[in-house]
Each structure stands twice: as structure tokens, then as C-alpha cells.
Amino acid sequence: MLITVMLPLIIILVPAMMTIPGTSFNIPTTMFENLPLEVKLEIAGMNATQQIVYIFALYFFAPFFLIIPIMASSVLASDSFAGEKDRKTIEALLATPLTDGELLLGKILVSFIPSMLVTFLAFVAYSAVVDITAFALFGGRTLLPNLLWFALIFIVTPAVALAGIGVTVIVSVRVKGFREAQQLSALLVLPVMLLIFSEVGGLLMFGPTMLAMLIVGFVVLDLIVFKLGTSLFRREEILVKSI
């Protein structure tokens, strides 16, 4: 949460305090060149400071919001089954008539709901800080929220979160204890970091096309992860690993 407040403050206030040459554009050239045409048109009439603030606040930091639910859910998701094994409560749970799918879904939702709440609150805080600090810079115009960010926060982020949490819960089923599950779940941020670095390097840019690809890709991945989870769910193995 602190990051979603501090980051926009930094990206908006620092350029505003620095002297930005009027016609030069000091963010990485490749990143600027790879901006979608519609974005280039959006920033065409802006000065250099406005362009930096606009690009960073609305596009560059967007993928960071994909990390928030993964990080926020890592402890809960890792603890889902591994914690039950550690605390010797798994046997009574496995003895209930809850189906494998119900058990998995229940454990996923326990992590998903709070992580999405955190993400939504972070988005509200981020939007508020961006709009308040950029208000004067853009002549009273607010930047967030916009349609792209609504899609990011309410469609893409949940889909990414479900995939990440689903994988962590599956890991939690398979490992012996909580520590092992949490260490392995930390690897999940790597794909998102790859996305961020690709953006910095100008290979990708957050925009409608990328958003559409992420939605389709992650919805399919969510279904695959759930199917995989139910097929890998073996009560006997879970119990043996808890002994």
C-alpha cells in the first residue's frame, strides 16, 4: 500500500521539480518509440513533464498491480494445505464429505478475496495520489481511473491472482510444510517481473492489445490450473506427507 502511494508521488513530484528540456524526452527512447499510436496521439500536445508523468502513471506502473495480489496472497495460499499438515488438522478435513474441488476452491478463495481487497484499496489510493498530485499539472484534469485501468484491476488482476494463488495452493498440497510452500511460491512473481522489464526495455507496452492478450491467456490458465489441481489432489498423499 505504501508503494502505491509513494511511487506516484515520486514520479509526479520529481519531474515537476527537475528541469526537463522542452523538446527532449529523457525516458528510454525505445520505450517511447514502442508506445501504441493512440498513446502517442494522447501525449502529442503535452509538454515533457506532462508526458513523463502521463506515461509512467498510466502505463509504466500498471504491471506492478499484477504483483500486489500475488504477494498479498502468498502467505495465506502457502499455508492453505501445508499449514493444515503442520498443525495436524488435515485428517479431519479430509474425512469430511467436501469434494476435492470444493476443498481446493475454498482454499483458493480464502487467499483470493483478501488479496483482491488489498489490490482494490491499493488502486483507490494510487488513483487518489495520482489525481491529487497531477491535478495542477494537467490543468484540473484527472487521469485515473480510466477504462484501461478498470479492465486491468477488475478483470486482468483477478485472473492473474487466481492463477498465481491456484498454483501456490497446488504447491501447498504437494509439499510437506508451510516453509517449503512459501519459498516455492515466491517464484511466481518472476513472470510479472519479466513483464515489467520487457516494458522498460520497450518490448511490450501496457495497452488495450496487451490487456486483451492477458485476459484471454490468464482465463485459460485459470481453468488449466483448477483442472490440474483437482487431478493432482490425492487425499492419501496429502495425509502421508503430514505424518
Partner 1 sequence: MDRLSFEVEEGEVFGILGPNGAGKTTTIRMLACIVSPSGGSAKVAGYDIVKESVNVRKSVGILTENPSLYERLSAVENLEFFAKAYGITDGQRVSERIKELLDFFQLWDRRNERVATFSKGMKQKLAIARAIVHDPPILLLDEPTAGLDPEASKLIRNLIERLGSLERHTVLLCTHRLEDAERLCDRVMIISRGASKVVGTTKELRNRMGGHPKLEVTLREVTREVVDKVRGIESVEGVEVDEGSARLLVAANDVEAVAPYVVRALVNAGAMVTGVSVFLPSLEEAYLKLVRET
Nearest-approach distance from CB 69 to partner 1, in angstroms? 24
Binding site for partner 1 (CB under 8 A): 87-99, 235-236, 239
Nearest distance from residue 118's CB to partner 1, in Å?
A: 21
- At its nearest, how many Å lie between partner 1 and the CB of residue 97? 4
* Residue 127 and residue 144 in contact, taking contact as beta carbons nearer than 8 Å: yes
Report the distance separating Cα 38 and Cα 44, nearest Å. Answer: 10
d(CA 130, CA 11): 9
- Measuring CA to CA, how many Å separate 98 from each of 12, 92, 103, 230, 239? 51, 11, 6, 13, 16
Identify which of residues 98 and 193 has a Cβ nearer to partner 1 in the complex.
98
Contacts of 116 (CB under 8 A, 6+ apart): 69, 157, 158, 161
85 or 174: whose CB is closer to partner 1?
Answer: 85
Q: Which is nearer to partner 1, 2 or 92 (CB)?
A: 92
Minimum CB–partner distance for residue 108 and partner 1 (Å): 17
